[in-house]
Amino acid sequence: MPFTYFFDSVKKISRHNRIMITKSKQNLTLFQLCTLLLTIAETSASVFNNVSCTSNKTFTPNSTFNTNLNTLLSYLSSNVTNNVRFFNATVGKDSNTVYGLYMCRGDVPFALCRECVGFATQTIPSSCPTSKEAVIWYNECLLRYSYRFIFSKMEEWPRHKINIPLGDPVVLHSNGFYTALGSIFDELPNKAALDLSESNGYAVKQENASGSVTLYGLAQCTPDLAAGDCKLCVADAVAEFVKSCCGGSIGASVLFPSCIVRYETYPFYQHSGTSAPTMIQRGRNIGTEVLVIVVVLLVVLAMLFGFSYCFIRIKARKKRKASDRENFGPELTVLESLEFDLATIEAATNKFSEDRRIGKGGYGEVYKGILPNGEEVAVKRLSTNSKQGGEEFKNEVLLIAKLQHKNLVRLIGFCQEDREKILIYEYVPNKSLDHFLFDSQKHRQLTWPERFKIVKGIARGILYLHEDSRLKIIHRDIKPSNVLLDNGINPKISDFGMARMVATDQIQGCTNRVVGT
């Protein structure tokens, strides 16, 4: 909108304070010296303007919200090192969520931006020790946090105004001063909105007022705003100069949470044309873009890994089946009927949980499991230190599967997957004989008829292995812990890890190592 009304209003305000003096060369020199000193001061350190704290929403010290706020401020401060002039972040969840952002002025060097945000994160907790919402303004940056969502929302409250009423009367009351100021104010809203759609919402403009006096104007929106909101925010800030702030001032600023507008009679910003440096980044948008890229890359990598894993598994399975077909021939069908996958075994034993473990030995551990059909089984998980190869393990499985006798524990299946070697047996509820013989209380539970029954059952099982089976087997590890007892106290010989098959007519043999009991 045109600012003719602005010129007239400011002239009326300043006319009351007009002091008719004659401008001298010395006065002009002093004025120029002061503006030079102001410029040097502003480019060397952060200049505090104001801080606003909400009083109606507070938190308790050392609360979860307090912890999340400290984490947020630390995170915002540390992100300036990544050469980002705008950044927002969220910490916590539910009622303890804290939203925060910082914005550095578009022309400020990164070192000064980092210093300013650092000062802000240190000052705001002490200035607003229990406020759930606050905003702090410096010449070089602004920082705010809140308990509510504040991103991409145009907000004009709380606000702060600064004006410098001291100035050269001749300059202030000349038409050139207000014409130049009106030209700047006319252009800044559109310019900031246009720059926001292309870059970062930062706009500057300078106009010659009269002779040696030039006016410099600056506007900037937080880069998460929409272009229309940015334009409205700057226009409303400009209107504040007329309504309640800065008529007749040689310099002034209006500070909103979502935008800032300022003018001076000296170059308070680093002049580099009409737009901000291209290195200014929108922290939230960049964060979102980076997040999207990272997620897409992770999904692609996960898919590639999944396809590769499946391909390798399928190829290895085909290779293993070809090897098994060559080694086991017609018995391969029997072997395949006994094989379980690892996922089924893990589900049956609750992933080999400690409360399912019912035994432990040098061979490995035994767990109670429940198959999908409801059948209870004993799962023997062989030690990973076992030097037995895959082919030898399957030979043992076939050997045990062929042994069918009421005094031998029945093999239900096996699993060989991911370096795991697992045998699945029928579940025998009374555990092993040693639990009765060597327990001070339970050894009395076995009557002599039951003991005799156990001895006969063990003898029948050994006789079957030595004489009646199609294969002649020497167990070599008969001991109480390898004799299981069912509900009827019937013995069942188990653990064929040391068993050795011999020829049917063989009565003696040699071995390279001594094993057995």
Which residues are the active-site residues?
Answer: 477
Instruction: Annotate 253-273 with b (16+ C-beta within 10 A) or e (fewer).
Output: bbbbbbbbbbbbbbbbbbeee
Closest to 423 in 3D by CA, of 404, 388, 396: 396
Q: Are 137 and 49 in contact (CB under 8 A)?
A: yes
Peptide bond into 158 cis (omega under 30): yes
User: Looking at this protein, which amino acid is placed at residue 431?
Assistant: K
Alpha-carbon distance 493 to 463, whole Å? 12
Report DSSP letters for 348-403, one per residue: HTTTT-GGGEEEEETTEEEEEEE-TTS-EEEEEEE-TT----HHHHHHHHHHHHH-
| Residue 380 among known ligand-binding residues | yes
- Return the structure tokens found at 11: 């002239």
Helix (H, G, I), strand (E, B) or coil at 212: coil
Question: In angstroms, what CA-CA distances link 363 with 67, 225, 400, 434, 497?
Answer: 52, 68, 16, 17, 8
Q: Determine the distance from the C-alpha atom of residue 139 to the mean position of all C-alpha atoms in its chain, rounded to a whole number.
A: 34
Number of H-type helices and E-type strands within the chain: 13, 19
Q: Are 506 and 472 in contact (CB under 8 A)?
A: yes
Contacts of 156 (CB under 8 A, 6+ apart): 233, 236, 237, 256, 257, 258
Alpha-carbon distance 390 to 417, whole Å? 10
Alpha-carbon distance 473 to 478, whole Å? 13
Q: Are 68 and 82 in contact (CB under 8 A)?
A: no
Alpha-carbon distance 34 to 25, whole Å? 15
Indicate left, alpha or beta for 351 from its phi (over 0: left) and psi (-120 to 50: alpha): left
Give the torsion sign (CA, 167, 172, 173, 174): positive
Closest to 362 in 3D by CA, of 385, 342, 346: 385
Residue 311 per-residue DSSP state: H
Detail the residues annotated as belonging to a binding site: 380
Detail the residues annotated as belonging to a binding site for ATP: 380
